[in-house]
Amino acid sequence: MTLVTTILAAAEEGHHGNVALETVVFFFIAIAVFAALGLVVFSYRDVANRHAGKAQAFAQSHGTAADHGAIDHGTASGH
Q: Is residue 36 part of a domain?
A: yes
What is the distance of C-alpha 12 from the center of its chain? Answer: 43
Q: Is residue 47 part of a domain?
A: yes
Beta-carbon-side half-sphere exposure of residue 31 (alpha carbons within 13 Å) = 5
Q: Is residue 68 part of a domain?
A: no
Q: Is residue 4 part of a domain?
A: no
Q: Is residue 32 part of a domain?
A: yes
Give residue 26's pLDDT: 93
What domain count does the chain have? 1
- Domain that residue 54 falls in: 10-61
pTM: 0.46
Give residue 34's pLDDT: 98
Q: Is residue 71 part of a domain?
A: no
Q: Helix, strand, coil: what percent of the chain each, to 5?
A: 65, 0, 35
Going by C-alpha positions, the residue among 46, 27, 24, 45 that lies closest to residue 35 is 27
Q: Give the tens place of pLDDT for each residue, 26-48.
A: 999 999 999 999 999 999 887 77
Q: Is residue 66 part of a domain?
A: no
